[in-house]
Amino acid sequence: MKRNFHKILAGLMAALLLLAVTPFSAMAYGNTTATISFNKNLFTLEPKTALDGLSFVFTLTPGTASHIDSSYVGTTSPSISPNTVTLSDWDTLATELQGGVGYTQSGSFTVPFTSIGLYTYTLKETSSSNIVDYPLNQAEYEVTIQVVNTVVDGVVTGIEIGSIAYKQLKDDEGSDISATSNKETDTPNFPRTQTPVDLVITKTVAGNMGDVTKEFLFSITLPQTAEVKTYTMKTDSSVISSLATATTGNPTSIVTKDSGTVTVDFKLKHGETMTIEDLPVGMVVNVTETAGGYTATIEHNDVVQAEDGTDYTIVSGTNTIDYTNTNTQVNTGINTDILPFALMFLIAAAGVVMLINEKRRGIN
């Protein structure tokens, strides 16, 4: 009897010991949820109201799964529904960019798990409501979630999120980041600066006394910027008058300052244009011209301006400042092209009259 009792007791102790050391990997004991967070940052010189209605969509796609217990069968991480998040409400950032501010919005996905394992997902931006001003950020992140057993006093009581790691696989423009330099990050970030635009300044000379070969002096002033920035300037002389030669010596760039404005001068003839490339939307520039006795008419984006030397705000899309300089002489009935010859004729005629008079006096 005692011998049987000892055998039973030894069996029970062995079973308890086995339960104590078994990791319960074959059990789906409880559940847990992982929160995958990310940020969307926008940079623009426009006011916050310009962002009303602007939205971006982000997608989380299941990847591979490994070290999975028998309660979860397969090699793909669990899918979630919905697997998209839309961001559309923007908060102000302290970050400055070229004198403007940044705006941000945070988003997150929640992914439920019922089994221990190592799960991967791909996080990326998939849609923009204004693809022209704010193209998609092409960054791509791999999210790795480790789900482990919860152990209390040596006993498995459930499961929990062991860790969440983010690794950047593609940069903001969609270029692959080499495996040796993949960026580990605390929170994925999808920044985007509003698409820059060009400013085109045109020159037209009009009027019957307008000189199409004359150079007109212009000045452009850019504001102080948070970071020194170089903007390309290009003169186009492809449609000037056949009587004129192309303007030379114009600057090819303008460099901003982080302490004060900057002004550069350039010249244009009839038919020429000056383009300042890739200015940020919202930047305020000043353009003036020395009209040189001509009457100037100025249009900004087809709207006539009251005076020269006006501040212009760069807007999304087309930005043009058109200068038309007019010099018109009132018609007096005399063709100015033959005036010198007419004067010569009158002088000659007066001389003949005087000569005839002298001869008459001599005869008398």
Instruction: Give the count of alpha carbons within 13 A of 321, CB side only.
Output: 26
The pLDDT, as a whole number, for residue 127 is: 95
pLDDT at position 167:
94
Query: What is the predicted pLDDT for the residue at 311?
Result: 94
Phi, psi of 56 (to 5 degrees): -135, 145
3-state helix, strand, coil in the chain (%, to 5): 15, 45, 40
Query: Rounded to an integer, what distance in angstroms lies between the CA atom of residue 43 and that of residue 264?
Result: 27
Helix (H) or strand (E) holding 207: none
- The two tokens of residue 65 are 């799964």
> What ranges make up the beta strands (E) of 114-152?
117-128, 140-152
pLDDT of residue 50: 86
Task: Write down the pTM of the prediction.
Answer: 0.71
Sign for the pseudo-dihedral over CA of 225, 198, 237, 307: negative
| pLDDT attached to residue 14 | 44
The pLDDT, as a whole number, for residue 28 is: 39
Q: What is the pLDDT of residue 23?
A: 36
pLDDT in 10s for each residue of the chain, 364 residues? 555 545 544 554 444 433 443 333 333 346 799 999 999 988 888 888 888 889 999 999 999 888 665 555 567 898 888 899 999 888 876 555 444 568 889 999 999 998 888 999 999 999 999 999 999 999 999 999 999 999 999 998 999 999 999 999 999 999 999 766 666 888 999 998 899 999 999 999 999 999 999 999 999 999 988 789 999 999 999 999 898 999 999 999 999 998 999 999 999 999 999 999 999 999 999 999 999 899 999 999 999 998 888 899 999 999 999 999 999 976 555 554 555 655 666 776 666 667 666 666 665 5
